[in-house]
Structure 1
């Protein structure tokens, strides 16, 4: 029996924004992921696997595994940090949640969120379930990044400021694009995958500082994969979902608050993954705090500051960074990840900000609490709408009355303009993976990820993924 097709969805689908986007996804040349683009893609993928391993031990991932039905479907896909194998959908849900559990994953100012975590857990699962090559993986990852960031260019800054969590609400399109590309769907079915994904988009910034924020990511990746799998079987969605008068942009942003032309303008030229778009995190906390941490560390090093000598701390980030990081007295370790006051105090006390600083009751240490009482955070008066969005200024006043200031104009973590070296990436990978892997296994896994383009059969090469199952 021929299954019905709804006229509105089929007619003119190729001329809709999603239809045109789907053509770009299907036509993308995998050989374009070379040189700098290849190095950046592998760095982001390896970094995501590292933070996924560390996050697998967090409560938000462990609780998921206790929920009846989760990870109980049969399948070949590894839930990293465990001995569990399950379906691609369940592995994507749990691994995706783990990947964002520590808020240590990469970030993009243009995206307004974390571009790799909606994509990598999904592609790992598909690789184990369906096979494919490392080149297939890299191409699907590249189009996923391209899709989510191009949509962000169309939707921001209103989308972000309204309170949507772009990693989930826009990342679901990237996940669907990556899944459709890896499954080798044609243009029509890729269009439907994107259309279905748009109706599964969700995630509110009010959840920042709770377990629900990393759940956004697991759910987003699972939804994108689910959309691609449904489309592969002929499931239908609204091809005009983006531009419809009751569609995505109108509902999520509102009339006049988006630029649909940005979705396709110069798509893939240059590739987002090849530019300075994505920054890999040096510090395991909200990316909106990183410029302030770096400024505090610069001050401490340049002036040989000691926390005991501090009488006052003034933190002045761009107002967009402060909306969700103004937490003068964090109430939990998780809450501390989103407290610009805490991370600046920690940088001055410890000379760095590391994973251990968000464990147990580190945020309650007496010297930290003393500095929090001396700290004020306000929007920077000179960093307005027309300038860089990721800047900050720190002013530290000492007990002797001297004042020291450090300003950073714009810093989206270690982006393509100042990328982390392979040695720096490996050091972070080791810090993350040591929670579940012996050093030798971590070394082997990192080397395999660094040679991803040489993998000929992802299914046959699943042993290096299984290395992440302690």
Structure 2
């Protein structure tokens, strides 16, 4: 069967597996190493924010009934579990507020599922900070390269790309951390291929975060099974009925291996200033700027027009949201709360904010204007007043985008803010000290111990 395939579609799984198993820390460019630490600072920030969310409380209760041990930390909590369940719950906590990182080309949120798996493993198996960071870089590379191959059709068909692609990323990361050879790493990817799932229909509900948790848990399980010699298919990605063929009509398979070892996915990763879908960032920026210079009242606004890439409407046209979780992917709510309150933090995307009748009324006045020429990091917001006056603000590079990234100090501030918001009592500064120096740490699990609440 492979003889009829274009050459770039042959042995993609093997190429990725060899790359992951052979990778060394010295192969990773300095800027990629630093970006890995930035991603982990953001990861702990968002996990601490979500750790005591009522929905996470419920999940901890259910998962805890089936825990096979108590040796892995649940970030921001005093419960401990086996590493599979801990990985799932920590990925869920980091994803629950939609405040996690974003790989711009694919809109994958890679760190929550991949880091959660690695830190759970590090608590159960001695590992240096350097080894964890190397494994993390490999996991992100695998997840995002597979995502590149199936985007954008995969998401448009209804697959939640973070959940589907990051099970491969978590499997590759744990395989690298376990020092599996190329064949075993391929088996891990094969096991992951049978567990790739998650639907866009779940956005705005806890089911979305459950599937992100599954990516962490099942990716780790895939590597552990491979380590014990459980074999998988030879071509789980490029096979006739492999992931790529099932995930979209025509995958761009070459994007999986093109530039491998020269172009790095982490350099296209970004960090959110607001707890919502990343396509809303430029819209919120524009609304906050309009609100800052306001010489008008909300009652004067007849409608709000937003111009942006069609993806903006596809992902966020959600009027009449009922919960804070739904509001994280609602342009109607984001526009209304930014214009009305001049803020866009976690409190503005809460159940209380959603119930505000002023915000509901203003959100109903929103109109989308699709323009494929606009990048997803840009948008234009126009306030159309009852008087006929129009006021427009355009944002070409949203705060937190690749062109306007959050600085290291802003990521540290985010961890301070979200650690306080989560109410776990975890001190931010000791955790930051460990994370920014993780590449020289002899024990990769130290941040997890610091992020643990002691009862």
TM range, smaller chain: over 0.9
Q: Residue 258 of structure 2 corresponds to which residue in structure 1?
A: 265
Which one of the candidate residues 378, 399, 412 is aligned to 1:391? 378
Which one of the candidate residues 280, 288, 293 is aligned to 2:271? 280
**Are the counterparts in 2 of residues 52 and 100 from structure 1 also a CA contact under 8 Å?**
yes
**Counterparts of 1:415 and 1:390, CA distance in 2:** 6
**Secondary structure of the corresponding residue to residue 380 of structure 2:** strand
**Secondary structure of the corresponding residue to residue 312 of structure 1:** strand
1:199 aligns with 2:199: no
Shift of 1:226: 0.5
Shift of 1:24: 0.6
Shift of 1:460: 6.3
Q: Residue 132 of structure 1 corresponds to which residue in structure 2?
A: 127
1:168 aligns with 2:163: yes
Which one of the candidate residues 447, 450, 454 is aligned to 1:464? 450
Q: Residue 4 of structure 2 corresponds to which residue in structure 1?
A: none
Q: Residue 325 of structure 2 corresponds to which residue in structure 1?
A: 334
Q: Residue 7 of structure 2 corresponds to which residue in structure 1?
A: none
Gap regions ≥5 residues in structure 1: 1-14
Shift of 1:253: 0.8
Q: Deviations over 1:353-393 (max 9, x none)?
A: 001112232122232123123222x242x324xx6244322
Q: 1:157 to 1:463 in 2, by over 3 A?
A: closer
Shift of 1:206: 0.5
Which one of the candidate residues 70, 90, 98 is aligned to 1:95? 90
Gap regions ≥5 residues in structure 2: 1-9
Q: Decide which moves more: 71-80 or 446-455.
A: 71-80
Q: Residue 402 of structure 1 corresponds to which residue in structure 2?
A: 389
**Counterparts of 1:164 and 1:336, CA distance in 2:** 20
**Secondary structure of the corresponding residue to residue 113 of structure 2:** coil
Question: 1:35-46 residue pairs with structure 2 within 5 A?
Answer: 35-46=30-41
Shift of 1:73: 1.6
**Secondary structure of the corresponding residue to residue 54 of structure 1:** helix
Question: 1:439-450 residue pairs with structure 2 within 5 A?
Answer: 441-450=427-436
CA RMSD after TM alignment: 2.0
Q: Residue 12 of structure 1 corresponds to which residue in structure 2?
A: none
Shift of 1:306: 4.6
**Counterparts of 2:58 and 2:156, CA distance in 1:** 31
Q: Deviations over 1:170-217 (max 9, x none)?
A: 111111111101111111101100111011000000011111011111
**Secondary structure of the corresponding residue to residue 118 of structure 1:** helix
| TM-score, length of structure 2 as denominator length | 0.92
Aligned residues: 445
Q: 1:461 to 1:167 in 2, by over 3 A?
A: closer
Q: Deviations over 1:280-339 (max 9, x none)?
A: 000011112112111212333355555354332112331122112101221221111111
**Are the counterparts in 1 of residues 438 and 444 from structure 2 also a CA contact under 8 Å?**
no
Q: Residue 426 of structure 1 corresponds to which residue in structure 2?
A: 412
**Counterparts of 1:410 and 1:121, CA distance in 2:** 30
Q: Decide which moves more: 191-200 or 30-39.
A: 30-39
Question: 1:202-241 residue pairs with structure 2 within 5 A?
Answer: 202-241=197-236
| TM-score, length of structure 1 as denominator length | 0.90
**Secondary structure of the corresponding residue to residue 323 of structure 1:** helix
